[in-house]
Chains A and B, each alone.
Chain A
Amino acid sequence: MALYCQFESSLIGGYNFELRLATGLEAVGIYLHLGLNGISMPLFMLAGIVGFAAGMYAMFSKAERPHLYLSLLLFMLGGLMGTFASVDIFFFYFFHEFALIPTFIMIGVWGGAGKRGAAIEMTIYLTLGALLSLIGLIALYVQSGADSFSLITLREYLAARPIADTVQNNIFALLLFGFGILVSLFPFHSWAPKGYATAPTGAAMLHAGVLKKFGLYGLLQIGAPLLPAGAAHWFPWIVWLALGNIIIIGLITMAQKDVKMMLGYSSVMHMGYAFLGIATFSVVGVGGALLMMIAHGLSVALLFMLSTCIYHRSQTFDMSSMGGLATKAPVLAAFFVAGTMASIGLPGFGNFWGEFTIFAALAETEMTRWIVAPAALGIIISAIYGLRAVANIFFGKPTEAFADRINSDEIVDLKIHERFPALILIIALIVVGIFPRLFSDAANGELSQLYTSRSTLPIIEINAAVPKTVEAHKEVTH
């Protein structure tokens, strides 16, 4: 099983960069059509990297019934990769559900305290979101008149005959709120922190890191390009809800005492930036959202993993009762600080480019310029809770009970099987941070095709020099 996991991941790193394959499984206008384009390829790789790290970590964790656990993780990974590789929007949905079911099972079986409630809340919430988006996809299929679920065919049909505006508005609403629930858009986020707090590490890493990106991916690959008028109609909603994510959830995050709850809320909060990026509807903004998704996936997976490592050493998730852990576990501390910095958006990590390009896109037009201020406030908020968490856990004076633990010999630094997956994630983060072009070039090519051909929108402002802007900034940082 371990070998299989490694094999699968090495496969991804290897030859899937430009793979396009079509297998015809015939069933009522639905074909199992797999392929990768500039948008899905980075996410596909993200799934591979995070899945590899989660699998590595899970292999050496002391979970009950390890075989079942690992096979569920692999099921989840298989579903994730299938989702991002699907050209057929039916299979896109199908694989997503395929990945979702193991999540519920893993939370139900291996979850922490309160797992029953969390598992069922998550199941109901996510099923509702998934069904809404399914209806949206069916609506798209029927209204396009294409008689096919293939994204390529749908694009061609819709480019030739766009759907009427009011219908677009309705379908986009279904997709926005359906996917929004899956991505924990502001008022529909309550499942996320609880679910992640109770989920076992592997499930939390894969779900928060990768599976949650499904909704955003759906919006930017399917929703926004195919339904431009709908997207324009719902633009103010997206902005306000995304700001809700950033500011309100940010403030809630500051109030958290439990490490995992804090991470859960912070991952909800950062989704706001991705939504803002999509809302700009420009190549820069959407590209930024994509970078944000990847970098966030890596950093949140890293942090969830490290929080479990912390728990193994401190036997508590309560930050206020910890302190001074860095003296005994310097490597753990270094990794955690790096992860936190990344999630705050420090230059050098991928998250910086995501946030930066989203802000750049927002600032580009008069209409959206004001959003930059509240959104930037979110960075300050995340710096506050991130640094405070670091300070509470690793530095400062430990509480008396905790000091005893620290002074006993029980606490050791990260072991090799913990270091290795963490290192993979960090390296990936830094690679994205230093060399974002790796992803952005391919994505730009695809995105500029999808997002330039519309000209009737009030908010699009296409900047042909976009890729160059990003590069220029990159050179500055060098």
Chain B
Amino acid sequence: MNELLAEFLRSFTVTNDWAAITPEIMLAVLALGLLGAEMVLPRSEQGLIPRLAIWGQVLVLVVTLGFSAYSTVEGQSFFSGMIVQTDVTQIMRAFFLVSSILVCYLGKIYLLKQKLPRTEFFHLVIIIAAAMMLLVQSSNFVMLFVALEVVTIAFYVLVAYCRTSSLSLEAGLKYLILGALSSSILLFGIVLLYGVAGNPELSFSSADSLNFEALKTFIAIHQDNVLVRIGAILVFAGICFKIGAVPFQIWVPDVYQGAPTPVTAYLAIASKAAGFIVLLQLLTGPFIGLASFMIPVLSFIAAATILFGNFAAVRQRNVKRLMGLSGIAHAGYLLVGVVAALSIPEAKYAVIFYLVTYLLASFAVFAVMSHMAGPDDANQELEDYENLARKRPFLSGVLAVGLGSLAGIPPLGGFIGKLFIFIAAYKAGLYGLLAISVLGVVISIYYYFGWVRVVYFSDSKDSAQETAESLCSCDRVVLGALVVATVLVGIFPGVLPIVQ
């Protein structure tokens, strides 16, 4: 039976380009279906929509996993080179689906509290997931840019979703302006590369000069060409905006604070992961010829990002800004892995592993933040968490595990993620970056531990009597699953197929 199914799926995917992107198509249909359902369903039945969104995506996840289990053809390209599927893209598809399911779950909690319209939110989240899945598979700058713009434009709306909150609107505006700027920088870089690689005067120029393969051969020959270098730098600048690396990190704290918590989580996790995968694919693909030129630039950016993120987070009292700034630091560690991937190829699995542990731990923390959010979502201060351990022991346990994993404390997943990055960095000979990473981790212990300390060890006992609404069993299941997954990945990293 399995054989038959496998054979069917294989023939289906090999012969038909569209079949290769079935999960993305299903997501788009689901997103449209949600809008339709809102019009059709009577008011009393509107509560179905979040469930429909979540379970629909679970179905898509199952289909995606089935596809990748049965029909992985390494490096196969579709749509005449627009899309290339590898094992990395298959993992990342599942990654984005899991994160969008979790964002929908957070959105369900959040929207109910804030009394905001729901359907559009889920619609946009699902569209973003589909676009990010296409983004990591793209093998052509046109595809990459279009997918990226779909993601970014949907995020403009989502960040400003809480339209009665001035902070959310401010965040939306900031994200819009800086996002547009970064997109135009990226586009400028792409155009330069297109122009220079399409110049018939130069050897190895190509008519299809937006294609990664064609660019790879061209750039390998013309490493020293000024236009190639400027183009590559501009493309990187555009992506660095997305991942929040120094010196393009300035938008992060404000946007993270103002955006609704589920959107913050989405930005911090999925959007950042997409940026990193694109970065990895560009560096190991078309820009591989520029490695010797890129390593010092990226190393400098990584070091500055780690130091900035950690030092800025130390004094932070607002937890959403804290997560934003510490997220910058995590981007720095990931960049270390990316730099290592330039010299040793297996380092890219270290990056992906780190992203997975980061996903699990961050969602645990953001879920607790969504549960904790009062009417004003943007202003969660550390003080709001005082005595949480007495009031809501379950939530504080989840928070402690999430923060512990982010801080990289064994036996949690984050530790193994950092370990892999460190091993990769050592193997690649990046001793300076390694030292800075260690320094960064030590600093990060201070603020993560400070948060845990507020939760568990605060001395004031006055507000202990505050009534706390209980969690429904579904919340417990989701949060418990995140905690169990974090611990499991830490104790037995082999559960993730990435570890070979």
A residues neighboring B (CB under 8 Å):
25-28, 90, 93-94, 97-98, 101, 104-105, 108-109, 115-116, 119-120, 123-124, 127-128, 131-132, 134-135, 138-139, 141-142
**What is the chain A residue whose CB lies nearest that of B446?**
A124
Chain A min CB distance to B74 (Å): 21
Contacts A98-B410, A132-B438 given: A123-B426 contact, CB under 8 Å? Answer: no
B: interface residue count bin: 20 to 34
Instruction: Give every chain B residue within 8 A of A98 (Cβ-Cβ).
Output: 410-411
Q: Most A CB atoms within 10 A — which of B411, B419, B442, B449?
A: B442
CB of A28 within 8 A of CB of B441, answer: no
CB of B493 within 8 A of CB of A131, answer: no
**What is the chain B residue whose CB lies nearest that of A109?**
B457
A119 to B446 alpha-carbon distance, docked (Å): 11
Instruction: Give every chain B residue within 8 A of A27 (Cβ-Cβ).
Output: 492-494, 499
Q: Does B434 contact A (CB under 8 A)?
A: yes
Q: Does B423 contact A (CB under 8 A)?
A: yes
Instruction: Give every chain B residue within 8 A of A115 (Cβ-Cβ).
Output: 457
Per-residue contact bits, chain B 475-500, to A (CB 8 Å; 1 contact, 0 not): 00000000000000000111000010
Q: Does B163 contact A (CB under 8 A)?
A: no
CB of B410 within 8 A of CB of A97, answer: yes
Instruction: Give every chain A residue within 8 A of B366 (Cβ-Cβ).
Output: none
CB of B442 within 8 A of CB of A94, answer: no
CB of B442 within 8 A of CB of A128, answer: yes
Main secondary structure of the interface of B (DSSP, over half): helix
Q: Most B CB atoms within 10 A — which of A28, A97, A105, A138?
A: A28
A132 to B410 alpha-carbon distance, docked (Å): 15
A175 to B410 alpha-carbon distance, docked (Å): 19
A138 to B409 alpha-carbon distance, docked (Å): 17
CB of A123 within 8 A of CB of B457, answer: no
**What is the chain A residue whose CB lies nearest that of B435?**
A135
CB of B426 within 8 A of CB of A135, answer: yes
Q: Does B445 contact A (CB under 8 A)?
A: yes
Contacts A27-B492, A108-B457, A120-B449 given: A138-B426 contact, CB under 8 Å? Answer: yes
Chain A min CB distance to B453 (Å): 6
Chain A min CB distance to B410 (Å): 4
Per-residue contact bits, chain B 51-69, to A (CB 8 Å; 1 contact, 0 not): 0000000000000000000
Instruction: Give every chain B residue within 8 A of A108 (Cβ-Cβ).
Output: 453, 456-457
Q: Does B422 contact A (CB under 8 A)?
A: yes
Q: Most B CB atoms within 10 A — which of A25, A109, A119, A135?
A: A135
Chain A min CB distance to B14 (Å): 33
Chain A min CB distance to B436 (Å): 12
Q: Does B75 contact A (CB under 8 A)?
A: no
Residue among A105, A109, A116, A135 making CB contact with B422, cutoff 8 Å: A135
Contacts A101-B409, A108-B457, A123-B449 given: A131-B494 contact, CB under 8 Å? Answer: no
A101 to B449 alpha-carbon distance, docked (Å): 11
Chain A min CB distance to B369 (Å): 22
Residue among A120, A128, A138 making CB contact with B450, cutoff 8 Å: A120
CB of A131 within 8 A of CB of B442, answer: yes
Instruction: Give every chain B residue within 8 A of A94 (Cβ-Cβ).
Output: 410-411
CB of B422 within 8 A of CB of A127, answer: no
CB of B493 within 8 A of CB of A28, answer: yes
Q: Does B113 contact A (CB under 8 A)?
A: no
CB of B411 within 8 A of CB of A116, answer: no
Instruction: Give every chain A residue within 8 A of B415 (Cβ-Cβ).
Output: 97
Instruction: Give every chain B residue within 8 A of A134 (Cβ-Cβ).
Output: 419, 422
Can you offer 27 A-B residue contacts whose CB atoms are under 8 A? A25-B492, A25-B494, A27-B493, A27-B494, A27-B499, A28-B420, A93-B410, A94-B411, A97-B409, A97-B410, A97-B411, A98-B411, A101-B404, A101-B409, A108-B453, A108-B457, A109-B456, A120-B449, A120-B450, A123-B449, A124-B442, A124-B445, A127-B442, A135-B438, A138-B423, A138-B426, A142-B427
A101 to B403 alpha-carbon distance, docked (Å): 13
Instruction: Give every chain A residue within 8 A of B411 (Cβ-Cβ).
Output: 94, 97-98
**What is the chain B residue whose CB lies nearest that of A143?**
B426
Chain B min CB distance to A148 (Å): 13
Instruction: Give every chain B residue within 8 A of A123 (Cβ-Cβ).
Output: 445, 449
**What is the chain B residue whose CB lies nearest that of A105?**
B456
Q: Most B CB atoms within 10 A — which of A138, A139, A141?
A: A138
CB of A138 within 8 A of CB of B422, answer: yes
Q: Most A CB atoms within 10 A — which of B422, B441, B457, B493?
A: B457
Contacts A27-B499, A97-B410, A124-B442 given: A119-B453 contact, CB under 8 Å? Answer: yes
A138 to B438 alpha-carbon distance, docked (Å): 13
CB of A142 within 8 A of CB of B426, answer: yes
Contacts A27-B499, A94-B411 given: A142-B457 contact, CB under 8 Å? Answer: no
Chain B min CB distance to A43 (Å): 20
A338 to B423 alpha-carbon distance, docked (Å): 48
Instruction: Give every chain B residue within 8 A of A124 (Cβ-Cβ).
Output: 442, 445-446
Per-residue contact bits, chain B 413-444, to A (CB 8 Å; 1 contact, 0 not): 00100011011001100000010001001100
Chain A min CB distance to B238 (Å): 34
**What is the chain A residue whose CB lies nearest that of B407?**
A127
A97 to B446 alpha-carbon distance, docked (Å): 16
CB of A116 within 8 A of CB of B410, answer: no
**What is the chain B residue whose CB lies nearest that of A132?**
B438
Instruction: Give every chain B residue within 8 A of A25 (Cβ-Cβ).
Output: 492, 494
Instruction: Give every chain A residue within 8 A of B409 (Cβ-Cβ).
Output: 97, 101
Residue among A93, A116, A139 making CB contact with B426, cutoff 8 Å: A139
A98 to B493 alpha-carbon distance, docked (Å): 16
Chain B min CB distance to A83 (Å): 12
A93 to B409 alpha-carbon distance, docked (Å): 12
Contacts A97-B411, A120-B453 known; 12 new A-B pairs at CB < 8 A: A28-B493, A97-B415, A104-B449, A108-B453, A119-B453, A123-B449, A127-B441, A127-B442, A127-B445, A128-B442, A139-B426, A141-B423
Contacts A94-B411, A98-B411, A142-B426 given: A120-B446 contact, CB under 8 Å? Answer: yes
Instruction: Give every chain A residue within 8 A of B493 (Cβ-Cβ).
Output: 27-28
Q: Most B CB atoms within 10 A — which of A26, A94, A119?
A: A94
Chain A min CB distance to B461 (Å): 13
**What is the chain A residue whose CB lies nearest that of B444?**
A127
Chain B min CB distance to A141 (Å): 8
Chain B min CB distance to A254 (Å): 33
CB of A131 within 8 A of CB of B449, answer: no
CB of B446 within 8 A of CB of A116, answer: no
Chain B min CB distance to A125 (Å): 9
A127 to B494 alpha-carbon distance, docked (Å): 26
A138 to B492 alpha-carbon distance, docked (Å): 19
What 7 A-B pairs come out closest when comparing CB atoms?
A97-B410, A108-B457, A131-B438, A27-B493, A128-B442, A127-B445, A27-B494
A443 to B213 alpha-carbon distance, docked (Å): 61
Instruction: Give every chain B residue within 8 A of A128 (Cβ-Cβ).
Output: 438, 442
Instruction: Give every chain B residue within 8 A of A90 (Cβ-Cβ).
Output: 419
A141 to B427 alpha-carbon distance, docked (Å): 10
A124 to B499 alpha-carbon distance, docked (Å): 30
Chain A min CB distance to B88 (Å): 18
A27 to B434 alpha-carbon distance, docked (Å): 22
Instruction: Give every chain A residue within 8 A of B457 (Cβ-Cβ).
Output: 108-109, 115-116, 119
Instruction: Give every chain B residue within 8 A of A97 (Cβ-Cβ).
Output: 409-411, 415
A120 to B404 alpha-carbon distance, docked (Å): 14
**What is the chain B residue whose CB lies nearest that of A101?**
B409
Chain B min CB distance to A257 (Å): 26
A7 to B399 alpha-carbon distance, docked (Å): 33
A268 to B462 alpha-carbon distance, docked (Å): 40
Chain B min CB distance to A32 (Å): 10
A109 to B427 alpha-carbon distance, docked (Å): 40
**What is the chain B residue whose CB lies nearest that of A30?**
B493
**What is the chain B residue whose CB lies nearest that of A125?**
B442
Per-residue contact bits, chain B 454-483, to A (CB 8 Å; 1 contact, 0 not): 001100000000000000000000000000
**What is the chain A residue whose CB lies nearest that of B496?**
A27
A128 to B419 alpha-carbon distance, docked (Å): 15
Chain B min CB distance to A96 (Å): 9
Instruction: Give every chain B residue within 8 A of A109 (Cβ-Cβ).
Output: 456-457
B:278-319 near A, CB below 8 Å: none
